[in-house]
Amino acid sequence: MNVGISMAEVVDVVLLVLLAATGIAIIRLRNLFAAVMLAGIYSLVSAGLFTVMDAVDVAFTEAAVGAGISTVLVLGTLALVGYKEAEPKHKPILPLFVVLVTGGILVYGTSQLPPFGDPDNPAHHHVAPYYLENALEQTEIPNVVTPVLASYRGYDTMGETTVVFTALVGVLLLLARGPLPRRVFHEGSWITVRPGETREELEAKLKEGKGGPAAEEDSDG
Amino acid sequence: MDDRVILRVGTKTMIPFILLFALYVQFHGDFGPGGGFQAGVIAAAAVVLYALVFGLGHAIKVVPPKVAYVCGALGVMIYVGTGYVALLLGGKFLDYNVLAHNPVHGQEYGILSVEMGVLITVFGVMVGLFYAFAARRRIDT
């Protein structure tokens, strides 16, 4: 090994090469099942990169969400839409041009970024010093990430939790199987209207069980 | 289904450890990497693994969809509720200092409660999302 190349740099290069290779393989594959598996590997390699950059909490989340849950969710989607990607009908010239230009601009943008891990970076001069100096004294929690997320930045985390919940609501609105039974107020009492029930069926049911709309069983999974 | 003995037995052995690891990540988040979000995802992964190996029907008996949905909302309620408790005790919204006899303990209780809310929400949402995708039938042409 040459003088001047540290072990950390070797690890960086290996991980980035793996990342690039996985990305190119995902683009070239027409089998979506294999592409999803490679996307999981991509997340795992990213988690490795985050670990190298000392962002263990982010790496942990990336490994659990990116490589774990989202792979399973995408596989669930594939079970619905099929495993083969159709051959593209257009020439790849224009998309390639757009991607190259965008990528070029992004790479040009990184040249203006502050150097990685430099203590003079603007990010380390706003509130970060206050957190680092006071977190242990004010909360007695050794891992500074936890008090920053849950206490100093409590509003942000509350918003994130709400966003996660909103994601569930959105997906259920789109994907849940049919509407739930509805409770409707009708002539002085609440009645249950099941999905797909016609008006005639409902009127017949009301007529025969005049006393008992409330007695109707309510548990329909 | 019943042929895959190694898979079934292996899964059964692993699930308690996955759940235990989720709890470890939750409560060890004060000392190392981890916290409510990661712990919730890991706990949900245990349910997803169970569903993948033993079938969705069995998983729904363990964690019914309604429980998952209620968990999703309950966690947010715990989080926001912690904020309101602080408000009622004379502090500001989500100001944990007033939750206990001294500010340091208050911070610890507040963070514990809030992280628990995150855990419950993330667990419920991840399981609910998985059910929503897995319970769909394929639309065959």
What confidence category does residue B3 fall into, taking pLDDT thresholds of 50, 70 and 90? confident
Question: Contact B125/A177, CB-based, under 8 Å?
Answer: no
Question: Contact B111/A172, CB-based, under 8 Å?
Answer: no
- HSE, CB side, 13 Å, CA atoms: give it for residue A114: 9
Quote the pLDDT of residue A207.
75
Nearest to A139 among B34, B108, B121 (CB): B108
H-only helix segments in A53-153: 56-61, 70-81, 93-110, 128-139, 145-147
Chain B CB contacts of A143 under 8 Å are 29-33
Question: Contact A64/B104, CB-based, under 8 Å?
Answer: no
Question: Contact B52/A72, CB-based, under 8 Å?
Answer: yes
- The answer to whether residue B140 is domain-embedded is no
Tokens of B72: 């999703």
Chain A CB contacts of B115 under 8 Å are 146, 150
Quote the pLDDT of residue A133.
85
In order along its 221 residues, chain A shows pLDDT tens digits of: 455 678 888 998 999 999 999 999 998 888 899 999 999 999 999 999 999 988 888 898 899 888 888 898 888 888 778 788 777 788 888 989 999 999 999 999 988 888 887 888 877 888 888 888 888 888 888 888 888 888 888 899 999 999 999 999 998 888 776 555 667 777 777 777 776 677 777 777 777 765 444 444 444 43
Residue B123 pLDDT exceeds 50:
yes
Question: Contact A151/B117, CB-based, under 8 Å?
Answer: no
How large is the ipTM?
Answer: 0.89
What is the tens place of the pLDDT at every residue in A58-69? 898 899 888 888
Evaluate whether A181 touches A193 at the Cβ level (below 8 Å).
yes
Quote the pLDDT of residue B137.
62
Position with higher pLDDT, B130 vs B29:
B130
Question: Contact A154/B103, CB-based, under 8 Å?
Answer: no
Quote the pLDDT of residue B68.
93
What confidence category does residue B22 fall into, taking pLDDT thresholds of 50, 70 and 90? very high
Question: Contact B33/A60, CB-based, under 8 Å?
Answer: yes
Quote the pLDDT of residue B18.
94
Quote the pLDDT of residue A86.
79
What is the tens place of the pLDDT at every residue in B72-84? 999 999 999 999 9
* Residue to substitute from A50, A53, A69, interface B, most B β-carbons within 10 A: A69
- The answer to whether residue B106 is domain-embedded is yes
State pTM to two decimals.
0.79
Residue B58: give the domain boundaries: 5-134
Chain A CB contacts of B138 under 8 Å are 79-80
Size of chain A, expressed as the number of residues it contains? 221
Query: Which residue does chain B place closest to A178, by CA atoms?
Result: B136
- The answer to whether residue B141 is domain-embedded is no
Count of the separate structural domains present in chain B = 1
Facing residues of A193 across strands? A182
What chain A holds in terms of domains, given with CATH numbers, is 1-113 (1.20.120.1200), 118-176 (no CATH), 179-214 (no CATH)
Residue B24 pLDDT exceeds 90:
yes
Q: Please count the helices (runs of H) and the strands (runs of E) in chain A.
A: 9, 2
- The answer to whether residue B139 is domain-embedded is no
Residue B14 pLDDT exceeds 90:
yes
